[in-house]
Structure 1
Amino acid sequence: MSENKLSRDVFSAIADPTRRQLIHLLAEAEELPLHDLTVQFPMGRTAVSKHLTILKEAGLVLDRKVGRETRFRLNASPLREIQDWVSFYSKYWSMNMMRLNQLLEEEEE
């Protein structure tokens, strides 16, 4: 699979902690310019831009130009794919919790 194809995958896009932090910052604000995002990280503007590009390719971030400034905002709808995937496996957690509860009740008796 090519690097470009991987960067459009939502799971791959959120795998990096810096990108998850960018998502978090954008979720808290309606829209932020690149400068305001960059100052939140111990890296340069180019590195933050690369992370934002990966998020854009995954459809998680939208951008627009305002004069000479680029502003970014979150598009959370692709996160639904992750929520659906986790939800599918939550039935296993529920079953394990029920088993643990039964074990604890049996030990009490």
Structure 2
Amino acid sequence: MNEQAALKAIAEPRRRELLTLLRDQGTMSVGEMSKRVSVTQQAVSLHLKMLEEAGLVEARKEGTRHLYAIRIGGFQPVQDFVSSFWADQLAALKESAEKE
């Protein structure tokens, strides 16, 4: 897993909607998510597969149901990538303030 795969996965609005749903509701089945976002189960499954491959969600099987949850630590590469820009900006701001 790397930040590029994660960023690509979360670039799609429907996948962000599914991630938000999992964040707010916790572990859910494909069918439950499908009903909540008004998208077919097949489409939800495809989105979740990409999120899983990017390391952002994890799946487990319970009987015939596939359950998905946010993967703890999965967003760390994205956070590290975005934080690197903040660090650069803060350093530049500090340098600018010290010159004045």
Same fold (TM over 0.5): yes
Match of 1:26 in 2: 22
- Partner AA of 1:77 in structure 2: G
TM-score, normalization by structure 2 = 0.78
Match of 1:88 in 2: 84
CA contact 2:57–2:70 (8 Å) conserved in 1: yes
**Structure of higher RCO (CA pairs closer than 8 Å, 6+ residues apart):** 2
Match of 2:59 in 1: 63
Larger Rg: 1
After superposition, give the CA deviation of every residue in 1:21-80 in whole Å (9 maximum; x if it has no partner).
111111123311111100122321111110000001111111111111111111041211
Aligned length: 95
The RMSD of aligned alpha carbons is 2.4
Q: Percent identity?
A: 29
Find the aligned partners of 1:31 and 1:49 in 2 and give their Cα distance.
14
Match of 2:36 in 1: 40
Structure 1 unaligned runs (5+)? 1-7, 102-109
Find the aligned partners of 2:9 and 2:46 in 1 and give their Cα distance.
11
- Partner AA of 2:6 in structure 1: V
Q: CA deviation at 1:9?
A: 0.9
Structure 2 unaligned runs (5+)? none
Find the aligned partners of 1:16 and 1:76 in 2 and give their Cα distance.
21
**Paired residue secondary structure (1:43):** coil
